[in-house]
Structure 1
Amino acid sequence: MPIKAVVADMDGTLLNSNHRISEYTANVLRGLKEKGIHLIVATGRPYPDVFKTIHKCQLEPDFIITSNGGRIHDGNFKLVREHNIQPDLVEKMVQLRGLLGENNGEAEKKFVTNIYREAEWLTDKLVPQAQAAFNEEFPCQVLGDKLFELRSDDLKGVHEVWFLGHHEELLRLQAFITRTFSSELCCTFSLPYLIDCVPAGVTKGNGVREVAEVLNMKLEDVACFGDGMNDESMLKIAGKAYIMENGQQELKDAVPHGEVIGSNTDDGVAKKLEELFFSH
């Protein structure tokens, strides 16, 4: 059946190791638009950062799914759907710093907490590698311990909370969050060292469903590309599922029908799209 829409993740999928879209990939994506194929970006990144990347690469997506489905904008950057985490729940998540270990009687925090509050990025600690992965025009506000003093009244409009740390520590954190907040939160690994948390029911897959409804399109007409566990939900519902060579093995195991293609550093998405749409 013909593919009418292409949905692509950004990090590890569309973006290369320098967190940029190659000119070759950008040209292929523009060619899709000329063929009338809808282009949808779906990422765990927040919308202020994604908008900058889209401008820089001169992309023209029809829809932009950000924060793993927490926000959906159209191609004119107009808000279509929004899903926020309840402020009192965000406050509880901020307090998680003291729950996972004791060191000489004092709580030992082994991960960095990050909050997307509308167009703001708040964190307790600057991690240069994390900052470098975002556009310069989207700086983080480093609050230090003041982050943990924020209360629910300060935490309205939060569409994503994410934690950065060693994989083993984050596995413990994910298990605790799942036990404690499973009915209220959805937490997935977008990278082995990064957990994204959004409201329960908010996933890239449901974001794709929402966009398909707006476009009056069947999910079987959609092709999805991804590399991380936060892509699992959309890969499972798509008519065609493509997993990057560099994708997490856990994802390849979870979506056995997905076709493994080239890596993000080798323009794997663009090469597959050329094969699908431009080789005839």
Structure 2
Amino acid sequence: MNKNPNLKVIVTDLDGTLLNANHLIAPYTQAIFQELHQQGYILIVATGRHHLDAMQLTNALGIPLYLVTSNGARIHGPNQELLFTFDIASEAVAQLLALDIDPSITTVLFKEEFWYTNKENQKLNSFQKEMHYPYEIVDYPTLTNLSAIKILFVDEDHDKLLQLDHQIKALHSSIFETSFSLPICLEIMDKRVDKSFAIAKILELENSSFAETICFGDGFNDERMLLQAHKGLIMQNAQQTLKDKLHHLEVIGTNEEEAVAKYLETEVLCKVEKG
């Protein structure tokens, strides 16, 4: 029997949430999610990562789940079938790249099979233990097709990214939504899609709703899903500004402590009686 009869759906972010410090899903977390699957919960991983990258990580769980990637621009089903796709138009990306962007900032465009970048960035590369989603260094002004699944700006100096964020928000009739998944990562999406938009599509397919959902996250790209969930939980290692803004939500432990799995084992999973 479900320990929480009104709870049917578990949603979690990856980086800073389900993944450990080595950007992997640890064995204890794998075991808990396998038990959640056995007990009939609908499982959704919602991440800013590209689907090729995210699939390699979530395959470690060894269970069927829904995968929301690129902050909602792609949805894949339990058999890794593509259910929804959305790209930012080339003209809109060109408008964004025409801004006065500090040349030290790494600019990334997520494409379908690879990603474009204006420079090598070892910090960014470290998020992939194996290069399942390869990159290509390009000179953006020479490209004719700039359509992208998502746009990402990376820099160790958060203030530089804040200045760029202000520039983007000042664009007349901007179609872009900006969020900091990490202080060093400014993510750009089309306003028409985000994680909560994609999760709502999955919930509709499953005849469910956010009222039956628990969500875990650590970044501003998780904000809407955390607010819409029946219960939203924030990681201790989340940005302090996010914790301050969503101060009414419960804060659990860190990703390094596998706090998501510990919470689910204690508060969600039914104990199996042994005869």
Q: Compute the TM-score of the two structures, normalised by the length of structure 2.
A: 0.92
Paired position in structure 2 for 1:252: 243
CA distance in 1, matches of 2:47, 2:196: 11
Map Cα deviations across residues 172-217 of structure 1 (whole Å, 9 max, x no partner). Answer: 1011111106641111000001011111121111121111111110
Q: Paired residue for 1:116, among 65, 89, 110?
A: 110
Gaps of 5+ in 2: none
Deviation for aligned residue 1:169:
0.5
Paired residues for 1:63-212 under 5 Å: 63-96=66-99, 99-100=100-101, 108-134=102-128, 135-143=130-138, 146-151=139-144, 154-156=145-147, 158-165=148-155, 166-180=157-171, 183-212=174-203
CA distance in 1, matches of 2:172, 2:230: 32
Which piece of structure 1 moves more, 8-17 or 118-127? 118-127
Cα distance change on mapping 1:142 and 1:214 into 2, 3 Å: same
Gaps of 5+ in 1: 101-107
Q: Which amino acid aligns with 2:66?
A: F
CA distance in 1, matches of 2:252, 2:68: 23
Equivalent pair of 1:232/1:254 in contact (CA under 8 Å): no
C-alpha RMSD of matched pairs (Å): 1.5
Structure 1 consecutive aligned stretches of length 4 or more whose deviation exceeds 6 Å: none
Equivalent pair of 2:168/2:174 in contact (CA under 8 Å): no
Deviation for aligned residue 1:117:
1.2
Map Cα deviations across residues 214-243 of structure 1 (whole Å, 9 max, x no partner). Answer: 111021100000001111010000001110
Q: Which amino acid aligns with 2:122?
A: P
Q: Which amino acid aligns with 2:134?
A: P
Which piece of structure 1 moves more, 244-253 or 37-46? 244-253
Could you say what secondary structure the match of 1:72 adopts?
Answer: strand
Which piece of structure 1 moves more, 263-272 or 117-126? 117-126
Equivalent pair of 1:222/1:239 in contact (CA under 8 Å): yes
Flag the structure with higher helix content.
1
Equivalent pair of 1:8/1:224 in contact (CA under 8 Å): yes
